[in-house]
Structure 1
């Protein structure tokens, strides 16, 4: 299920009601926190089954991070602009892995949700993702709260994985099973979909770390606005810190925008530029650069520059 993307509100933390919903496999599973459990199995010294109370009893962490949909895996270069910024609370995956004791030959962590269904011509498949063990141990959190409230059913209640520097496809909802393995799983959502060839490379790699991107939010596409000085503002994000944002109006040169720093959490960064809009129709674009030197492409890929059209009167 890929719903039409709502307008992301111009707020640092996205209200839960405005968060996009993605579900590849039809009806969402109905899970109850009182009967839910999580198994940890495979190449571990001590296989585990944790209930919700046991998980809540482990050390907790809280952070704010960008949550972005990669897009339809059948159309991987089409921009979606589905992005939010959320506060998460949960248990670092490292705490759970420490209880299970990964064996020396374990190299990968498989994360599996309770949802099953049909997708892309395959029947009765689960939603399964995998990450290298060390990366998963360092980055993944098993979240049970979002924006200070328990996860809602559409967002993975009662527990989901959250990989804050990665696209949302890696943040498995309705998490019920973790497997440690020596190899990656051959699966629809690991090796056949959600892969891509990055610029300058020749081999496909899994869709994981976020691209550099930005979105204009202070003005709505297609809106009518007062002529005169207007603040052209929005948010920029990446898997690393964004170091610059530029804004272009019509066919004029790109202008550097004022950009907030990211801070300790992997959240998005606000940018702003005051510009005098003459009466008439205008095209406004923004593009971001991150600390890895990546720049948003003008066209042709999922993170191509965001463009809106407004009429000043």
Structure 2
């Protein structure tokens, strides 16, 4: 197996007002982790911000059968509330042991994150790829992009990247997870899988990402009509909505993508002052994805490269 990340601890600090763990969609909070802040001596003065710091050990594992229910809980809103073959998707992730990583706080806990890449041609006879394809095409309003999506979906060498984790996982997890998948597991599989067919199935030529982002819920101002006081039409003030990336890596992948599109999540109501949840679909070549990861590692860092196991796993 690919070496460095399996059963490797990442000592990270999670800062936030809420010590609980939430899922990537607030409707999906059902994991069993109990992550609490460390107790302090009430007799000593302390910085108020100390209450917001939680020290957590994260461990990376191969997906296994014991993860089935945890992964199903994590991925059940993958199509934003629409019914799809979630069990089939989870079973596929678990069976593909050579490529795929779960994040846990211990081996016996439910996964709080998953990243893997599935060859769409390899699994094209299953139900869930067809359901995901229809979902993405239905929400693509641009005819040119819809044609591009259809084309790459049916081409050999297209990987669907499944990447979900709890929304308040620390951003430092981004780099080692990307490193594990793209810099270790996929290269390992293309060389060391037992059959040529399997080795070739991981020689990806493009990566399709389906991610979660958020945007200011702005209503564009309307131009004044001909009946304004001066009898002239006023120009609308252009407002650019700010995109907020739930996971740090998505900003870099988006920046380097060949093409992308977004569409709103309508499975739950959004208040006027809330951020609008969106789905971001983007396509990257291996070179584009590598450049994005290089920038990510520079900005966020990559604890995977500092682990003692890295050198041993690279052999």
TM class, shorter-length = under 0.3
Greater share of strand residues, 1 or 2? Answer: 1
Greater share of helix residues, 1 or 2? Answer: 2
Question: Which of 1 and 2 has higher RCO (CA within 8 Å, sep 6+)?
Answer: 2
Larger Cα-atom Rg? 2
When the two structures are superposed, what TM-score results if normalisation uses the length of structure 1? 0.27
When the two structures are superposed, what TM-score results if normalisation uses the length of structure 2? 0.27
